[in-house]
Structure 1
C-alpha cells in the first residue's frame, strides 16, 4: 500500500541554538534523498526548515521546484513534489521542525491543507493553502471559499478542542462541511492536528485520506490516563484493520517507547520498522508528533507508514 506521505523528517536546534540539525527521518524508497538530508543543517531562514524556524509558523510548498528549496534536485530524483513543514512549540519553547513530503503520481488522491485563524482579521478559520494530489479542482475550490467558525468542520473542531480530531467517514459526517465534494474526490477519512504557536494566530493541519493512497497506514492519538500514570490510546484507525479500540493497546507495544519519548520531551520521535526494511512504497516506521496544550504536551499523534 502506497501512502500519500512519502517521507517524514525531524530537525532540531543544535546545542548553541544557532542551527537546525538532522534529528531523524523516514525515507523509504527515497534513500538517496535521505543520504543528502542527513548531511545538512539549516540556519534561521535557510531552506524550508530554516524558514519555519525563522517565521515560527507552518509553511506548505505545493512545488518543490519553484525556488527556495535547497534539495530540489534530490527531491525531483526521488519524485517528491510537495511538502508541509511546521514548528513544534511546548509552553512557547521551540523544540523542532517537522517536514512531511508528498509525491506527485497522477493517481494519488488525497490532500494536506493548512488552515489559519488570525483574530485581528476574522473570527473564522480560512484556508491558507493545500496540496491536493489527484483530488478534484472542485474540492480545492470549495475549500478556498469556506469560512469555519470555531467548532465547525474538521479544522474548526481541532481548533475548538485544542487537540487532534479524526473522522473515519467524511462523506457521511455532518461535521465535515465539504462532505459531497469529498465523496466526489474519493476522500474518505480526515485527521486534523493543531499547531500551537506562541502567537495569537491559530493553525491547523488537515490530512485528508483516500483508500488507494492513505495519508498513513495507521493513525493514533495517545494521551495520559485519568491518573496520569500511563499512556492510553484515545482513538486509532488502521487501513487494514479499521477502527482501533481506545485504552491500553498491546498492538502498539513495539512503538510505545517512541510515543512516550515524544510525550515526555516535546520533541517528535521516530521509529523505523523493527526489521529495518521499509514497505514497497512509503517511508516505513512511525513518527510521533507531540501536541502541546496548557503549557505541556497533552497528546501525541502517531502516524504509521
Structure 2
C-alpha cells in the first residue's frame, strides 16, 4: 500500500543557533534521498527548511524541481513531487523544522492544504496555498473560494481545538464542508494539524487522501491525561482495520517501548522522534505543545 506521505524528515538548530542540521526522519525506500539529506545543513532562509525557519510559518512547495529546493534530482528519483515545511516552536524558541514530502501518480487522489488567519484582517481562515496533484481543478477552485470560521469544517475544528483533528470518512456527516466535491474525486479522509507561529497568526495544515493512498498506515494522537502526568492516546485509526478505535478504552500496553519512548521524547522536547516505522511529531500552536501525532508507515 502506497501512502500519501512518502518521507518525513526534521531539522534542528545547531549548537550556536546559526544553522539547521539534519535531525532524523523516516525515508522508506528513498535511500538515496536519505543519504543526500544527512550531509546537508541550512542557513536562515536557505532551502525549504531554512525558509520555514525564516518566515516563522509553514510553507508549501508545490514543485520541487526547478525551485529553490536543493535536492530536486534525488527527490524526483524517489517519486517525491511536493513538500511542506513546518517550523515547531517550544515557547519562543525554534525547536525544529519538520518537512513532509508527498508523491502522486495517475491513480492518486489527495491534497495538502495550508489554511491561515490574520486576526487583524479577518475572523475567517482561508486557503494560503495548496497542492492538489492529479485531483483536478474543480476541487481546488472550490477550496480557494471557501472560508472557515473557528470551529467550522476540518481546518476550523483544528483551529478551535488547537490539536489534530482526524476525519476517517468525509462523506458521512463529518462536518467537512466540501464533502460532495471531495467524494467525486476520490478523497475520503482528512487530517488537520494546527501549526506553530509566534506572531499571532494561525495556520492549519490539512492532508486529504483517498483509500488507495492513505495518509499513513496508522494515525494516532497523544495528549496529557487529566492529571497532567501521563500521555494517553486520544485517537487511533488503522488502515488495516479501517475502523476508528474507542479512545476511552485504549491502553498503552499495545504500544512498543521504542514507540512510546519516541512519543514521550517528542512531547518533552518539541523535536520529532523516530522509532521505525513510527515518527512522533509534536503539535505546538502558539509555542505550546498540545499533542503529539504519531504516524506509522
- Worse overlay, 71-80 or 131-140: 131-140
SS of aligned partner of 1:163 = coil
Residues 197, 286 of structure 2: 8 Å contact kept? no
Residues 57, 196 of structure 2: 8 Å contact kept? no
Q: CA–CA distance in 2 between the matches of 1:104 and 1:294?
A: 32
- Give aligned pairs, total: 293
Q: CA–CA distance in 2 between the matches of 1:12 and 1:80?
A: 22
| Closer/same/farther in 2, CA of residues 238 and 130 from structure 1, 3 Å limit | same
- Cα RMSD of the aligned pairs, angstroms, is 1.4
Q: CA–CA distance in 2 between the matches of 1:68 and 1:55?
A: 15
Aligned to 1:215: 215
Q: Quick check: 1:269 aligned with 2:273?
A: yes
Q: Quick check: 1:248 aligned with 2:251?
A: yes
SS of aligned partner of 2:12 = strand
| Closer/same/farther in 2, CA of residues 226 and 114 from structure 1, 3 Å limit | same
Shift of 1:295: 5.7
Q: Quick check: 1:299 aligned with 2:260?
A: no
Q: CA–CA distance in 1 between the matches of 2:246 and 2:66?
A: 43
Q: CA–CA distance in 1 between the matches of 2:66 and 2:151?
A: 35
SS of aligned partner of 1:155 = helix
Q: Quick check: 1:100 aligned with 2:108?
A: no
Instruction: Note the alpha carbon deviations across 1:185-221, whole angstroms, 9 max, x for none.
Output: 1111111110021111100001112110011111111
Residues 154, 176 of structure 1: 8 Å contact kept? yes
SS of aligned partner of 1:197 = coil
TM-score, with length taken from structure 2: 0.95
Shift of 1:302: 0.9
Residues 92, 197 of structure 1: 8 Å contact kept? no
Residues 196, 286 of structure 2: 8 Å contact kept? no
SS of aligned partner of 2:132 = strand
Q: CA–CA distance in 2 between the matches of 1:301 and 1:103?
A: 21
Aligned to 1:276: none
Shift of 1:174: 4.7
- Worse overlay, 152-161 or 242-251: 242-251
Q: CA–CA distance in 2 between the matches of 1:295 and 1:52?
A: 15
SS of aligned partner of 1:112 = strand
Shift of 1:245: 3.0
Q: Which runs of 5+ in 2 are unaligned?
A: none
Aligned to 1:38: 38
SS of aligned partner of 2:129 = strand
Shift of 1:296: 3.7
Residues 106, 133 of structure 1: 8 Å contact kept? no
